[in-house]
Chains A and B, each alone.
Chain A
C-alpha cells in the first residue's frame, strides 16, 4: 500500500472528531468515496442517510463514540496486537441494514473512518463489494496502530486532534 494522509473528515460535532484516510495519489478521501458512491442511490441512499445521521448527530452530538455503535471484528485482530485491536465497523443493528463502514475507534472522542460497502453475504470477505474495503481497512488500521504504538502519532486530548510526535497536524503514514 502506498503512503496515505491521515486527515480530519469532520470536526464540527460537539463530542467527536472524525478523521479519514486519503491515498497520496487521490483527491478524495476513502470516506468521501464511500459517501459519493451511495449518496442518492436508489437502493442504498436511505441507509447512507441513516449512517451519516448516526455519525454526526447521534455520536457527534449525543452519545460520543460509544462502544455500542462499533462492532468489533475479532478476526481482524490477527493483524494487530490484541491490546490495540480497535478496528470495527459502523452499522445500524436492525434487520437487513445493508451498509458497513469500517473504522478505527481511537477513543470516545476520536474515530478514523475508512471505506465500506454493502454487506451481501454472511461475512465481509464473502461480500463482493465489501471484500476490498475490508482488506484495505485492515492495512490502514495496522499502520495507524503501529504509528500509535511507536509514538509517531499521538492524541492531543485537549483539542481532539491527532498530531505527529512534533505536534504537526499534517500526517502521512
Chain B
C-alpha cells in the first residue's frame, strides 16, 4: 500500500530531483561502507588526508559541497572508486591495417614463409615492403 500523500509528492517531483537524490544516496552509502570496511573513523580519514577532523566532518555531514576534486581525493585515500561513469564512446578500428616493414633481402628471392633472413645483416640494401 503506497501512502497516498507520498504518491502525490513523488508524482510532482521533477526527474532531475529524483536523479540527484539517487546519486546522493549512492555516494553517501558508499563512503559510509568503505569507512566501515576499513575500520576508519572520520578522525582516521582526516589524518590520512592531512585535514582537521572538523573539516572532514563538514565534508561528510553536508556542510560542504563535495567537489570533483574532493571526491577524487577521497577515492585515492579509500582506495576505491566512488564514482563510475560508463564509457559510451565507441572506438572505431579500421578494417585494414597498413604495416611498414623494413628488412634486408638476400640476393635470393625472399620466400613467403619468412625464411631466408639468415644473411640479412650482411645486406646493404634494405627494402621497404608494405603488407596490407
Contact = CB atoms under 8 A, between A and B. Distances in A.
A67 interface: yes
Given A11-B1, A32-B5, A49-B9, A68 B17 contact: no
B12 A58 contact: no
- Interface SS of chain A: helix
B60 interface: yes
- Interface SS of chain B: helix
A18 to B, nearest CB: 8
A58 B21 contact: yes
Contacts of B17: 46, 49-50, 53
Contacts of B64: 95
Contacts of B79: none
> Interface size class for chain A?
35 or more
Contacts of A49: 9-10, 12-14, 17
B88 interface: no
Contact of B18 (A53, A63, A92, A94): A53
Contacts of B10: 49, 52-53, 56-57
8 tightest A-B CB contacts, nearest first: A93-B62, A58-B25, A68-B32, A49-B13, A12-B2, A10-B3, A53-B21, A35-B5
